[in-house]
């Protein structure tokens, strides 16, 4: 099976996927039971978790609990023969980015289901030779950290250079990265030099012209960012420049994005690394999609929690009001 065509195969070649499900001992049994209505009283509860649509078996994934009516999302029940292909696609493919366990699982779990998916993803990612050889550790040292907490988009923006990288056929050797702390929006540009002039030009064209002037721009104390030219451009456009603490550039949110980009570059370009700038838009899209997916999952969870609390509050308030009405003469 061609990994590059895997999503389109699953969407368009339904007869083939159905055949794979029928041949699998687990999905095949469930599919036949649901289609032929061959269920006993003991099976009813388990079979309620599954549904057949257009001849394919799906898992009904509940999204809320607390005894309320859950909102359910259907996910294709992947037969065993597809597990390896799906793991490879969602971790190794150029649009996947060779990312970690949590992010790989989050993307995979949006569309598919199978028992023990979490442990399978963990085993696959941990055993990835390329990840072990190229990825730095993400574990933070012990200590108290107070993160910057922006209240609106483009209130705090980080900037940093990645490089020098092997010079490409187009002459690029650096990546200039901008990250909005609030929305996690990312702008990246492949550039020839890591200079103040380039940083100022890209700030005007990629940030100011498209998103407006950020309230604060955070950078390290590198030469391009402490120059009079860069400071003048920021002050003219109404942006306050803030520098990270010396020897602690991790305050800048772009540091984490840069590590992810460099990991993707090492994973997907040719041996001489002379064409990484051609892959930069896809790498940016991958990082953006993963970050936004995780953020939306968090937001939706918070909204559902709030709605649950609101319902409970209204119930208690109505109950109290009803009791008071009964006591009226």
Instruction: Answer whether residue 86 is part of any domain.
Output: yes
Domain boundary at 81, 102, 134, which?
134
**Together in a domain, 276 and 218:** yes
Is residue 263 in some structural domain?
yes
Tell me the per-residue pLDDT of 25-65, one tens digit each, with 9 for 90 and over: 999 999 998 888 766 555 566 788 888 988 899 998 776 44
Residue 311 CB partners (closer than 8 Å, separation 6+): 68
Strand order in the sheet with 56-62: 50-53, 56-62, 72-77, 112-113
Any idea what the CATH number is for the domain that residue 215 is in? 3.30.420.10
Number of domains in the chain: 2
**Per residue in 285-329, pLDDT tens?**
777 776 665 555 544 444 455 555 555 555 565 555 555 555 655
Phi, psi angles (nearest 5°) of residue 82: -90, -10
| Same domain? 169 vs 279 | yes
- The answer to the question of residue 209 being in a domain is yes
Per-residue H/E/C for 293-310: HHHHHHHHHHHHHHHHHH
| Residue range of the domain that includes 20 | 3-134
Per-residue buried b or exposed e for 252-291, using 16+ beta carbons within 10 Å of the residue's own CB: bbbbebbebbbbbbbbbbeeeeeebbebbeebbebbbebb
Q: Are residues 195 and 238 in the same domain?
A: yes
Q: Is residue 276 part of a domain?
A: yes
Q: Are residues 75 and 181 in the same domain?
A: no
Report pLDDT for 329.
54
CA angle 245, 249, 253 (to 5 degrees): 115
CATH of the domain at 79: 1.10.340.70
Radius of gyration from C-alpha coordinates of the chain: 25
Its pTM surpasses 0.75: no
Q: Please indicate, yes or no, whether residues 165 and 115 belong to a single structural domain of this protein.
A: no
The pLDDT tens digits for 128-173 are 877 776 665 555 554 445 566 778 888 999 898 988 888 888 999 9
């Amino acid at each position: 099976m061609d990994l590059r065509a895997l999503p389109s195969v699953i969407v368009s070649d339904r007869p083939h996927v159905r055949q794979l499900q029928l041949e699998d001992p687990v999905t095949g049994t469930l599919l036949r039971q649901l289609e032929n209505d061959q269920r006993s009283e003991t099976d009813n509860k388990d079979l309620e978790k599954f549904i057949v649509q257009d001849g394919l078996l799906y898992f009904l994934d509940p999204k809320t609990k607390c005894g309320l009516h859950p909102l359910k999302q259907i996910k294709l029940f992947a037969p065993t023969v597809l597990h390896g292909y799906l793991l490879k696609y969602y971790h190794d493919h150029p649009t996947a980015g060779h990312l970690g366990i949590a992010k790989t699982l989050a993307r995979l779990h949006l569309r598919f289901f199978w028992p023990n998916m979490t442990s399978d993803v963990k085993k696959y990612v941990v055993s990835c030779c390329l990840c072990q050889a190229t990825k730095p550790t993400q574990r933070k040292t012990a200590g108290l950290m107070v993160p910057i907490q922006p209240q609106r988009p483009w209130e705090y923006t980080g900037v940093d250079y990645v490089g020098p990288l092997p010079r490409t056929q187009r002459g690029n050797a650096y990546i200039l990265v901008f990250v909005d702390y609030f929305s996690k929006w990312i702008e990246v540009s492949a550039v020839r030099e890591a200079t103040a002039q380039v940083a100022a030009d890209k700030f005007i064209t990629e940030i100011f012209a498209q998103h407006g002037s950020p309230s604060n721009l955070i950078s390290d104390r590198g030469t391009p960012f402490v120059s009079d030219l860069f400071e003048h451009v920021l002050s003219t456009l109404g942006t306050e420049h803030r520098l990270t603490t010396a020897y602690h550039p991790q305050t800048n949110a772009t540091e984490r994005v840069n590590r992810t980009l460099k990991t993707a570059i090492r994973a997907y370009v040719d041996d001489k690394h002379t064409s990484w700038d051609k892959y930069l838009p896809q790498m940016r899209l991958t990082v953006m999609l993963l970050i936004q997916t995780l953020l939306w999952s968090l937001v939706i969870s918070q909204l559902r929690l709030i709605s649950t609390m609101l319902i409970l509050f209204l119930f208690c308030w109505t109950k109290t009001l009803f009791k008071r009405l009964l006591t009226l003469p």
